[in-house]
Amino acid sequence: MMLAALSSFATPNFDYVKLAPVLIVFAGAIVSVLVEAFVARTQRRSVQIVVTFLTIAIAFGAVLNNYTAKREGIEAMGAFALDGTATMLQGIILVVGVLGALLFAERRVDPAGDAFAPRASALPGSSDEQQFTEAGWLQTEVWPLFLFALGGMLLFPAATDLLTMFVALEVLSLPLYLMAGMARRRRLLSQEAALKYFILGAFSSAFFLYGAALVYGYAGSTNFGGIATALSKMTNNEGMFLLGALFVAIGLLFKVGVAPFHQWSPDVYQGAPTPLTGFMAAATKIAAFGALMRVMYVAFGGARWDWQPIVWVLAIVSMAVGTIVGVAQSDIKRMLAFSSVAHAGFLLLAVAAASKDGLSGSLFYLATYGVTTVGAFAVVSLVRDATGEASHLGAWAGLGRKSPFMAGVFALFLLAFAGIPLTSGFIGKFAVFSAAAASGATPLVIIAVIASAVAGFFYVRVIVLMFFTEATEATASVVVPSGYTRVVVGVTAALTLVLGILPQPLLDLAANASTFLR
Amino acid sequence: MSMNAYVTLSAVLFSIGAIGVLTRRNAIVAFMSVEMMLNAANLAFVAFAKVNGDLTGQVVAFFVMVVAAAEVVVGLAIIMTIFRSRHSASIDDANLLKY
């Protein structure tokens, strides 16, 4: 009996080369934890930086290796799919991850240290905190947390099983919740952001999980291929499936930040330390959108006629909320949060299109949006006054007169968000809109174009504020950063321009990559 | 025996949890409600595993328990820091971030 059970046990099949990018980042995260335990405090920061960048570099090498060898396949007993889309998204996430890590490493912007609290456990405003600040302590635990989040993000768009996807969702979210509460300045705001992010995030992942349970009850499998097969065969219990699919989608739409599931994003964007906001805003959106598309295309593709109208409505609501509420914001980080809600709406057009063009368009869009977002938050982290970051828009009035270069770079990012030609944002929007139009969603595209025009108003408003207002006492100044942030600002600005003028190589890459295995 | 009863129970637990998150003002209670939602999902997974006659659902339940434990660690850490700096774990008191 026992022997029979053992002999019928199939050993799972792992192709470690295909899993390498994810495994390398998790291995790096574990090394990083060990560094926390065994390296002296004085050297910890530099060792952590070396470990982090080395990990990302090796993982990127593994992604390139998978790409050049055109490795594809479903691994780990149908839990992990390596296909064109997964490889490309992993590459994009690692590039954004490197830019985010560079912002994390910045130490010259704040005279007291980096962007994170010297000890997250010390009470805000206490004498303990003061001592830690004076002693120059740094919370180097952000590095292992960063790597764990990055590993979860690499796994998320490649997960092809609801359980793997749930675990990846939590692995990427939990470190982000913690890091959101670790800002050096305005710690109460930061802690509040962490609490809101955590409660709402846990709430939405519970929805995801219950949805997964219902889908499993309907299909008898948590595997996307199995769900798609069941969907094509079965006709009973449709209600249970639809409810489950809706709950799964809610969990993912929350992470993407689609209205009406965006309530956390303005608060978290504003309260979290700015380097983290930049990284999270870009990388979470890329990973979660990849996961959303995989679920919708691969697992629930057979029920397209049921979910497409809902996606239409969500896209419209998201674009409307993002642009209309965004206009009323007086804080630059909140404004960028609503801009990201609007962008999530534009990206949903690609899901609504449910075509290969939609997929490749959204891959391009995600790459350019991610790069521009990290760049924009890098500039936000440099605009400061005596109390720290000056994120209030009033302090940005006249910035263009005071520091024309940085204000100019920020204006470039805003124009890219608005989708002005010769910036990468225009090409991304064009690719997604034309894919949606080709699939017959013309009314949706018309609404999207109107929404982009309205959104253009609030980006231009900031540019006008920066350049056509006299600088006053209240105008913040731009701090001269160290090489880390300079590299980020330079690279993101260059990519935003280059991808706007010469988008073809990346468009071709996205077109070739736009496949899903099932 | 019919599995409907188990699935119905899990749906009831999930709804109680969801209503708890939306209505209770104490962060710890809201968080407990989230845990209840996760456990409702576990119950549904196990019941469906019995219906479907395979083990996937039961394995999922184990994974969910581990993930929920990790979530407790992170969640209580965040709630503790908030409580220590504000002397309150009420969600309504955390109201600095708004328009």
How many whole angstroms separate alpha carbon A276 and alpha carbon A340?
A: 15
Contact call for residues A129 and A108 (beta carbons, < 8 A): no
| The residue count for chain A | 518
Return the pLDDT at A1: 40
Which residues is A82 bridged to in the sheet?
A73
Q: What is the pLDDT of residues A19-73, one digit of tens each?
A: 999 999 999 999 999 999 999 988 999 999 999 999 999 999 999 999 999 888 8
ipTM value of the model? 0.95
Given a cut of 90, whether residue A164 has pLDDT beyond it is yes
Query: Over the stretch A167-217, which tens digit does the pLDDT of each residue have?
Result: 999 999 999 999 999 998 888 899 999 999 999 999 999 999 999 999 999
Maximum CA extent, chain B: 54
Interface test with A, best of B2, B19, B45, B86 (most A CBs within 10 A): B45
Q: What is the pLDDT of residue A142?
A: 95
Name residues 16-55 of chain B within 8 A of A (Cβ). 17-18, 21, 27, 30-31, 34, 37-38, 40-41, 44-45, 47-48, 51-52, 54
For residue A2, name the pLDDT band (cuts at 50, 70, 90): very low
In tens, the pLDDT along A252-268 reads: 999 999 989 999 999 99
Question: Which residue in chain A has the smallest CA separation from B97?
Answer: A267
**What pLDDT is stored for residue A215 in this prediction?**
95
Instruction: Give the pLDDT confidence score for residue A5 in this predicted structure.
Output: 53
Query: Could you tell me if B63 lies within 8 Å of chain A, comparing CB atoms?
Result: yes
Q: Do A199 and B45 touch (CB under 8 A)?
A: no
Give just the sign of the alpha carbon dihedral B38, B43, B49, B51.
Answer: negative
Q: What is the pLDDT of residue A502?
A: 94
d(CA A364, CA B49): 40
All residues of chain A having their beta carbon less than 8 Å from the beta carbon of residue B78 are 177-178, 181, 191, 194-195, 198
N-term to C-term CA, chain B: 54
How far is residue A314's CA from residue A150's CA, in Å, rounded to a whole number?
28
Cβ separation B94–A196 shorter than 8 A: yes
In this prediction, residue A109 carries a pLDDT of: 86
* Confidence (pLDDT) at A333: 93
Q: What is the largest CA-CA distance in chain A?
A: 85
pLDDT per residue over A116-152, tens digit each? 988 888 888 888 888 888 888 888 999 999 999 999 9
Token representation of residue A58: 């090796």
Asked if A196 lies within 8 A of B97 by C-beta distance, the reply is yes
DSSP state of A12: P
pLDDT value at residue A125: 84
Contact A354, A336 (CB under 8 A): no
Cβ neighbour number for residue B80 with a 10 Å cutoff: 13
DSSP H or E stretch at residue A432: helix A424-438
CB A281 within 8 A of CB A321: no
Which residues of chain B fall short of a pLDDT of 70? 1, 98-99
CA distance B79 to chain A (A): 7
Return mean pLDDT, chain A: 91
Confidence of residue A8 (pLDDT cuts 50, 70, 90): low
The tens digit of pLDDT for each residue in A436-464 reads 999 888 999 999 999 999 888 889 999 99
Mean pLDDT value across residues A87-105: 96
CA dihedral (A384, A386, A389, A393) in degrees, to 10, reads -70
Task: Work out the number of other CB atoms within 10 angstroms of the CB of residue A179.
Answer: 28
Tell me, yes or no, if B8 comes closer than 8 A to chain A by beta carbon: no
> Is the bond into A157 cis (omega within 30 degrees of 0)?
no
**Whole-angstrom distance, CA of residue A199 vs CA of residue A235:** 37
Q: What is the pLDDT of residue A120?
A: 86
Q: How far does the CA of residue B26 sit from the closest CA of chain A (Å)?
A: 11
Confidence bin at A6 (pLDDT 50/70/90): low
d(CA A79, CA A75): 6
CA separation for the pair A422, A419 (Å, rounded): 9
A273 — pLDDT class (breaks 50, 70, 90): very high
Q: Which residues of A68-80 are buried (b: 16+ CB within 10 A; e: fewer)?
A: eeebeebbbebbb
Closest alpha carbon to A290 in A93, A64, A11 = A93
pTM score, whole prediction:
0.95
Indicate the residue of B10, B37, B45 with minimum beta-carbon distance to A216.
B45
Please tell me which residue of chain B has the smallest CA distance to A192. B94
Q: Which long-range contacts (CB under 8 A, 24 or more apart) does B52-60 make?
A: B52/A216, B52/A217, B52/A220, B54/A220, B56/A163, B56/A216, B56/A221, B56/A222, B57/A213, B57/A216, B59/A163, B60/A163, B60/A212, B60/A213, B60/A216, B60/A222
Phi, psi of B43 (to 5 degrees): -60, -45
Under an 8 A CB cutoff, do A199 and B40 touch? no
- Residue linked to tokens 């994170």: A116
pLDDT value of position A201:
95
* Distance separating alpha carbons of residues A343 and A376, to the nearest angstrom: 15
The pLDDT assigned to A81 comes to 92
**Mean predicted confidence (pLDDT) in A327-351:** 93
Contacts of B10 in chain A (CB under 8 A): 213
Single-letter code of the amino acid located at A386: A
At residue A93, the pLDDT reads 97
The H or E element that residue A385 is part of is: strand A383-385
- Cβ pair A369, A510 in contact under 8 A: no
